[in-house]
Amino acid sequence: MRRIVAVFVGIVLVGLCPSAATAQDSELAALAAQVQAMQATITAQAQQMAVQSVQIATLLENGQIQMALVEDSGSPYTTSAGTDALGSNEAGGKNNSAFGYKAIEDNTEGDNNTATGANAIRENTGGEANTATGYQALYSNNTGHYNAAI
């Protein structure tokens, strides 16, 4: 009698529970649909980025925009961030760092200058080892050396 009850209980339980395989198949199908949707989104974004990359390259080439951050890995070892920062810097101006709109813009030969702020050390042409922080700090310094302004 025990065997019959055990078999009967097993049949009832199987009949009451949905198949585990069916539930897993549904979950896998839903996940597959999500993956396909994500792949389509990624493909569309990659295509959009490719178009934008071409547009940016064209604008740079035509001079309509310029790089926001420029860092020379070789001489003259300068770093700049901002429109026209170190705009006139030539090979003679070495180790200069300019951060801000037109910071150290006119520099042609001055070395070791650091400017942070719009128009800081803007008119410097040959001054060396100057440090300026703030809007128009050392704006008119042309050839002065070893100045600091805040």
pLDDT digits (tens, 9 = 90+) for 127-146: 999 999 999 999 999 999 99
Where b means 16+ CB within 10 Å and e means fewer, 68-84 reads eeeebeeeeebbbbbeb
* pLDDT above 90: percentage of residues in the chain: 48
User: 115 is written with which tokens?
Assistant: 């400017």
Q: What is the mean pLDDT of the chain?
A: 82
Residue 13 has pLDDT above 60, yes or no: no
Full-model pTM:
0.55
What's the pLDDT at 118?
A: 95
Q: Does 126 score more than 80 pLDDT? A: yes
| pLDDT score of 54 more than 80 | yes
Q: Taking CA 20 as the corner, what is the angle to CA 18 and CA 23, rounded to the nearest 5 degrees? A: 85
Return the sign of the alpha-carbon dihedral for residues 131, 82, 90, 119: negative
What percent of the chain shows pLDDT beyond 70?
78
pLDDT at 6 over 50: no
Q: Which helix (H) or strand (E) holds 38?
A: helix 20-61
Lowest mean pLDDT among 42-46, 67-71, 93-97, 122-126: 67-71
Q: Which helix (DSSP H) or strand (DSSP E) does residue 115 occupy?
A: strand 114-116
Give the number of residues written for the chain: 150
Supply φ then ψ for residue 147, to 5 degrees. -100, 150
Tokens read off for 44: 């569309």
